[in-house]
Structure 1
Amino acid sequence: MGRAVRAEAVLAGDFEVAACYDVEGPCLRPGDRLPEGVDVVVDFSTPSALDFLGGMLSGTEAALVSGTTGLSAREKAMLESWSAERAVFYSPNMSRGIYVLARLVSEAGRLLGPGFDLEVVEIHHRQKRDSPSGTALRLVESWSASRSVQPEPVYGREGAMGPRRTQEVGIHSVRGGDVAGDHEVHLLGDGERLLLAHRASGRRTFALGALAAARFVSGRGPGLYGMDDLPGWSGDQR
């Protein structure tokens, strides 16, 4: 993702790439300081890199855009603590289409009522490290927000599990090839079913979303921001 963001930033014309950060290669390394005058850091790495990232941000006023997935509760709390002194934008998926899909899932849950079951299938390339995807979990959260009974995630199924429980939500992860990201939301009722899907043809869409987030947080005050805050994305033309 870092290469995709850098390529789109160069093409955009309103960004200057000051440095890159990686554990290997001709980039900033763990423990290195940010160059002077950096406005925004865009991070698509791994949860284990957050401690290094925190050290890099320390003593600077740089805003942060993070699309890293697989964060634990502790790691999400780290982002929230950083937002007390800088603008922090976090989303496990920077796609406008996924943002709309999450809102559709929430609205579907409200309109369909308790008689429908939710199953989520996500497909990613063979190199993806975390399962299920952060986006799949986000879609379940959207469904949960519209339900009176808190769903209980089930990660795949095997053996004699018995009938499906009312509050059960199935999440299924498929890995292989070079798939940038496919997500299917199956809404299953008696006598009918709905399928909502999003397929990313490449990483460019995520890079463009990250740059939109970078423009948003540049020069903005401290706070924790997300996709709902991007002008025009929620229907609010701020």
Structure 2
Amino acid sequence: MVKKAGAETLAGEVAERLRAAVLAGRFHAGEWLRPAELRAEYGVSATVVRDALARLAEQNLAVRSPNRGYHVVPFGEQDVQELVEFRIVAETAALRLSIERGGLEWEGGLVAAHHRLSVAGTDPGYGSDAWFVAHGAFHLALVSACGNALLLESCRDGLAAGDLYLRWGRRASGIEAHGALGERDPGPEHAAILDAALARDADRAAALYRDHLQLTADLLAASRRAVTA
């Protein structure tokens, strides 16, 4: 049960717990989020649950269907492609601004975030919970100096949804992923993006970033086709 507080605060707390549950894979793609069950689990009112679900939808982790309520985002090829198109537009724009506006502090934070990601890729390994945390931190570090709060929030939400699709894709492919999705090593891709960003080569960094996101979408689509064939 969440602690008693104002409706706004409670809605925020429930939204964060729901977000964590979705990202951890507690709910399946497309699963309906039942308000009565959530009210009982979190010990809050229907209004608080409704507000929390609306916030989850704003973060691209849930979808509202008129007269039916909210369900976890679906996981189809079109859903993945639409998300990657959104992310390419938002995150390459934010990356270009960060390269233009970021200073030494941004560079240092970026190098540190990449180091943590590299370590997590070895121990405990690519696709682990620790790797996903470090992966998100690295991508956010790349765009963190964009100087635009709205754009940064869009990047954060797109990244969360993208990592959720990646988790689902790895599970769907087999025991933490066989095939192209599981065999991929994104380390060299991240390193190349880092080098271009530190060199202040915005065009190259944006192109590498775009290709990185598109490759993920392509591998996820191939993974789904292989599973459903």
- Same fold at TM > 0.5: no
In terms of fraction of residues, the more strand-rich structure is 1
TM-score class normalised by the smaller sequence: under 0.3
What TM-score do you get using the length of structure 1 for normalisation? 0.26
Q: Structure with the greater relative contact order (CA < 8 A, sep ≥ 6): 1 or 2?
A: 1
What TM-score do you get using the length of structure 2 for normalisation? 0.26
